[in-house]
Amino acid sequence: HPEEVCQGGLGDCWMISALSILALKPERIERLIVNTRDETHNVSASRHGVYCVRICKNGYWQNVYIDDYLPMRSPGNLQYAKCRNKEELWVPLIEKAFAKAHGSFEAIEGGFVHEALQDLTGPQATGYTIHLKTDGAADEMWKAARDAYDSGYMLGLGSNSGKDTDFSDQGI
C-alpha cells in the first residue's frame, strides 16, 4: 500500500514517489522482487539474506542481487527508506537495488518520477514541464492528468526542489 512507503535521509523522493505509485497495485511491486514470497505471497525474509530485485535500466531488465545489510542511523532505525510497518522490508530492499543499479545511494539523489517509473516498470515514460504562470496552464495540466488517469496511465507529479510545505498558487 502507498502509505507503507516512507522516505528516509536520502534525497530520492522521485524514486520513493514512483514506489508509492506502484504500491497502489501490489502486483506491480511483486513483479520486482524475485523468489522471496511466503505462502501468503508477501515478501518474506530470505533464508540466506540475499534478494533479487528486477530493475529495467536503459531499457533492459536486469536482476540486481543485494544482501539484507541495510544502512542504519542507530540500532533499529534505518538510514534511508523504510516501510511504515517495521516488519516489512520491500521498500528498503528495492531502494538498495535501485541504488546499486545506478552505482550508489548518492547517485539516486535527485531525479524525476517518470524516470523512476520507467526503471521500475519497463515501458517508456514521459515527463512534461508545465509553466503554471501561463494563463490556463493549470487547467490544462489538470485536464491532461485526468485524461491520462482515466486511460489507465500511472501518474506522478513533482515540483522544483524545495520544502514539502511549499505550495504554488495552483496548489502544487
Q: What is the full per-residue pLDDT of the chain (172 aa) written as tens digits?
A: 888 899 999 999 999 999 999 999 888 998 998 865 555 445 556 677 889 999 999 889 999 999 989 999 998 889 999 999 988 889 999 999 999 999 999 999 999 999 999 999 987 777 777 666 667 777 888 888 889 889 888 878 776 665 555 555 545 4
How many CB atoms neighbour CB 56 within 10 A?
17
Can you state the percent helix, strand and coil of the chain, rounding each to 5?
35, 15, 50
b/e per residue 118-132 (b: at least 16 CB within 10 A): bbbbeeebeeeeeee
Residue 71 Cα to chain centre, angstroms: 18
pLDDT at 3: 85
Angstrom distance (rounded) from CA 172 to CA 161: 12
Cell numbers at residue 13, please? 523522493
| SS3 of residue 39 by DSSP | coil
